[in-house]
Chains A and B, each alone.
Chain A
Amino acid sequence: MRRLMLLGINHTTAPLEVREKISFSADQQRLALELFRQRFPDSECVLLSTCNRVEFYTARTLEGQPGVKEMADFLGEFHRLQPEQLKGHLYHKTERAVIEHLFSVACSLDSMVLGETQILGQVRSAYDSAHQLQATGPLLNPLFQRALAVGKQVMAETAIGEGRLSVASVAVDYARRIFDRFGDKTVLSIGAGKMSILALQHFKELVPKKLLVCNRDPAKAQALAQRFDGDPVPFETLYDHLVAADIVITSTGALQPIIVKHSFEAILKRRRYRPIFLIDIALPRDVEAAVGHLDNVYLCNLDDLQQVVASTQTTRHDAMDAAQKIVGDHVEEFIVHHRARELGPVIERLQRHYHEIARQELQRTMGKFPDMSDSERAHLEDLTRRIVNKILHEPIQAMRQRGHAGDIDESLFAPHPHPEQDERV
């Protein structure tokens, strides 16, 4: 029997300043999984790290490690954070609550932007990474596969994603509130990730005078620039291009801000205080928050943009009900299915045990009748097998039924909500 646990932090429990400290880049994610497996070799684990959440899903034996404290310590140690920095921001869930939460996450019911589709890909990517590192096992494999199926079904069968604004389209709206014309403007993209591509697709439609792509990897910059008819520019000359740019989309994987206030003040002077719109969609943030306080600088980070998007979701509440029903049905199905999987070996062991007892008793009895024919021997063997099966039939049926009723393995399928299952740490 295995125990499901989740420790996480998300946009509802922690501001961007905290989330960016605990987020994982792709490399960090792999490293964290390896370290986690080294420290807790008997546990399964998947690490989901997005702009809005970092969640550690684990499955372990009933008495095994890690517990909530060990998981929180691991997170803190990995990012060199003091426990008090995370205090009040982390939440943990166990058993059924984990299943419900993961399914809700996968279909964006728990997202800041209801109906966003990116989260499904992020869940898939988190699962794939863990699977490749053999960090998943008999519980997390079916759980995540089911979560992905739920996410797909909700997106396909409900209107949850309809009429939704994207973060990039909101950024364009903001740009329109700053600039009147775009034919004389320069758009600079720093970073060449998925978010940059999405944003550039929208800004390209404004037909700017120039589109620049700046990346540490010149090949990536070249490829992205080519795709959007722009010009690649070297990362080393970033500050020169910030002087020329009017709209800057930044989405790098840098762990420290690449645009800081004291440098940007000098840039502003060189720009002759022309207005500049900085769209920081990176996590950790690329632009120091203080830059946004400068005159003629308009800074929007991911939270700012997502809040605007989230404000449009009131129209999709009917779709939410439908999505929640799908999630609820899948949670029940998964629990039933999983109980059956967990009961299988127990039943098999039980049957083997009783049949072995019967076989030994039969051998002893048959030893007292040396003249017994093969046919008689076969009849006796058949008799004992039927007796054992009939004796075990009722207990096994009862086990299966009780399993369905939810009290055969309280450690795994405790009823929800449970006061201790969803708590801030």
Chain B
Amino acid sequence: MPEVSLLQLAVLGIAVALFAVATVAFIIRSRQGLARAERIGRACFWVGTLIVVGTLIWHSADRERWLPLGDNFSALVWLALLLALFIAYMQRTRPLVALNGFLLPIVVVLLIGAGIFGRLQPHQYVATAWTGVHLVTVYAGSAAFAVAAAGGLMYLLANRRLRNKSTMPSMNLGSLERLEHLTLYAVTVGFPLLTLGLITGLVLILSDPKNSLGARWFTSPKVLLAFCVWVIYGLVLHSPLNPSFRGRRAALLSVLGFVLMVGTLIAVQFMPSGAPH
């Protein structure tokens, strides 16, 4: 399987730069209300998104496989693209400029991660139907949780400003109610995906008794972290039923869940995949 070429990395670097500029522009827009900053942000965002799509197609063509989950590079770029598409969706439906300022840095980090891990440590998966479902659901769930974490973090900031009675908001974060809905919505989408991802992961592990995690696979940090993430988001998902978890606590849990999720993804990079080889 061909590695990521330097040219592909260079093109991806341009996308990273464009997303970074877009992040700054959107932050300026939400802090100072400059319409011009938003226009610049949107332009950079769309060009960056097109470049990412192009890079993904280019890399897939090189690999001659079109499911973009065969290695770290394509998986992380795909995850970044999912987030970028969500931002685009939000911009068209109910714009929340500040959300761009929180999500785009995650996109940038994912693309940088794709550049580093994709080039230096190629991580290939065995292409089975279960693997495909596992990877698609886990990555899509991760994208949803990134949105939930961004919503949660914004909620915490907005909540703090309200409690401090800050005279003028330095950044228009949106209302608490909207941020809470956004977080809950993202978790509602992400949780079934994660659940399916965990189940398929479990199937992959159990289907081969000689799997790389060994007999005590359930003590693997990757499995434990993934389970913790599942429990945390389960709590957030059930906050409407268990209202003492709503509001600030749900927001905190969303952020914590995403931190653990990132930890799980990192663990995946540095540990055996758990999938049968």
- Chain A residues 281 to 303 lying within 8 A of chain B, measured CB to CB, are 292, 295-296, 298, 300
B162 touches A177 (CB 8 A): yes
Contacts of B248 in A (CB 8 A): 295-296
Contacts of B247 in A (CB 8 A): 273, 275, 295-296
Identify which of B60-68, B145-153, B170-178, B268-276 touches chain A: B170-178
- Chain B residues 218 to 245 lying within 8 A of chain A, measured CB to CB, are 243-244
How far apart sit A19 and B175, CA to CA, in the bound complex (Å)? 33
How many Å from the CB of B179 to the closest CB on chain A?
A: 9
The chain A residue with its CB closest to the CB of B161 is: A177
Q: Counting CB contacts under 8 A, is A174 at the interface?
A: yes
Contacts of A176 in B (CB 8 A): 175
Identify which of A21-29, A148-156, A178-186 touches chain B: A178-186
Interface code B242-263, partner A: CB below 8 Å = 1, 0 otherwise? 0110111100000000000000
B178 touches A180 (CB 8 A): yes
The chain A residue with its CB closest to the CB of B178 is: A180
B244 touches A178 (CB 8 A): no
How far apart sit A241 and B274, CA to CA, in the bound complex (Å)? 56
How many Å from the CB of B182 to the closest CB on chain A?
A: 10
For chains A and B in complex, what number of residue pairs have CB atoms within 8 angstroms?
Answer: 50
Contacts of B243 in A (CB 8 A): 272-274
Interface code A241-278, partner B: CB below 8 Å = 1, 0 otherwise? 00000000000000000000000000000001111000
Q: Counting CB contacts under 8 A, is A34 at the interface?
A: no
B181 touches A311 (CB 8 A): no
How far apart sit A273 and B176, CA to CA, in the bound complex (Å)? 14
Q: Counting CB contacts under 8 A, is A304 at the interface?
A: yes
Contacts of B246 in A (CB 8 A): 272-274, 296
B167 touches A275 (CB 8 A): no
Q: Counting CB contacts under 8 A, is B163 at the interface?
A: yes
How far apart sit A332 and B202, CA to CA, in the bound complex (Å)? 90
Q: Counting CB contacts under 8 A, is B158 at the interface?
A: yes
Contacts of A181 in B (CB 8 A): 177
A308 touches B175 (CB 8 A): no
Q: Counting CB contacts under 8 A, is A307 at the interface?
A: yes
Interface code B69-92, partner A: CB below 8 Å = 1, 0 otherwise? 000000000000000000000000
Q: Counting CB contacts under 8 A, is B214 at the interface?
A: no
A275 touches B165 (CB 8 A): no
A180 touches B163 (CB 8 A): no
Q: For the complex, would chain B's binding face be called helix, strand, loop or mixed by DSSP majority?
A: helix
B163 touches A298 (CB 8 A): yes
**Contact for B158 among A177, A274, A304, CB less than 8 A:** A177
The chain A residue with its CB closest to the CB of B168 is: A311
Contacts of B174 in A (CB 8 A): 180
B165 touches A180 (CB 8 A): no
A179 touches B162 (CB 8 A): no
How far apart sit A176 and B179, CA to CA, in the bound complex (Å)? 12
How many Å from the CB of A291 to the closest CB on chain B?
A: 13
- Chain B residues 176 to 227 lying within 8 A of chain A, measured CB to CB, are 176-178, 181
Size range of the chain B interface in the assembly? 20 to 34
B167 touches A177 (CB 8 A): no
How far apart sit A326 and B174, CA to CA, in the bound complex (Å)? 44
B168, B174, B175: residue with the most chain A Cβ atoms closer than 10 Å: B175
Q: Counting CB contacts under 8 A, is B54 at the interface?
A: no
**Contact for A178 among B165, B169, B176, B181, CB less than 8 A:** B176
B177 touches A308 (CB 8 A): no
A304 touches B168 (CB 8 A): no
Contacts of A275 in B (CB 8 A): 176-177, 247
B167 touches A308 (CB 8 A): yes
The chain A residue with its CB closest to the CB of B245 is: A273
B168 touches A308 (CB 8 A): yes
Contacts of A300 in B (CB 8 A): 165
A179 touches B175 (CB 8 A): yes
How far apart sit A295 and B159, CA to CA, in the bound complex (Å)? 10
**Contact for A304 among B165, B176, B181, B244, CB less than 8 A:** B165
Decide yes or no: A178 and B167 within 8 Å by CB, A273-B243, A275-B247, A296-B246 being known contacts: no
How far apart sit A275 and B247, CA to CA, in the bound complex (Å)? 8
A298 touches B178 (CB 8 A): no
How far apart sit A300 and B177, CA to CA, in the bound complex (Å)? 18
**Contact for A180 among B167, B168, B169, B177, CB less than 8 A:** B177
How far apart sit A332 and B248, CA to CA, in the bound complex (Å)? 58
Contacts of B167 in A (CB 8 A): 307-308, 311
Contacts of B176 in A (CB 8 A): 177-179, 275
**Contact for B165 among A272, A296, A307, CB less than 8 A:** A307
How far apart sit A423 and B247, CA to CA, in the bound complex (Å)? 48
How many Å from the CB of B133 to the closest CB on chain A?
A: 36
B175 touches A174 (CB 8 A): no
The chain A residue with its CB closest to the CB of B175 is: A180
21 A-B residue pairs with Cβ-Cβ distance under 8 Å, sorted by A, are A174-B162, A177-B162, A177-B176, A178-B162, A178-B175, A178-B176, A178-B177, A179-B176, A179-B177, A273-B243, A273-B247, A274-B243, A292-B163, A295-B247, A295-B248, A295-B249, A296-B247, A296-B248, A298-B163, A308-B167, A308-B168
Chain A residues at the B interface, C-beta cutoff of 8 Å: 174, 176-181, 272-275, 292, 295-296, 298, 300, 304, 307-308, 311
Chain B residues at the A interface, C-beta cutoff of 8 Å: 158, 161-163, 165, 167-169, 174-178, 181, 243-244, 246-249
Contacts A273-B244, A275-B247 known; list 15 others, CB within 8 Å. A177-B161, A177-B176, A179-B177, A180-B175, A180-B177, A181-B177, A273-B247, A275-B176, A295-B247, A298-B162, A298-B163, A307-B167, A308-B167, A308-B168, A311-B167
8 interchain residue pairs of minimum CB distance? A272-B243, A180-B178, A180-B177, A273-B243, A180-B175, A311-B167, A304-B165, A296-B247
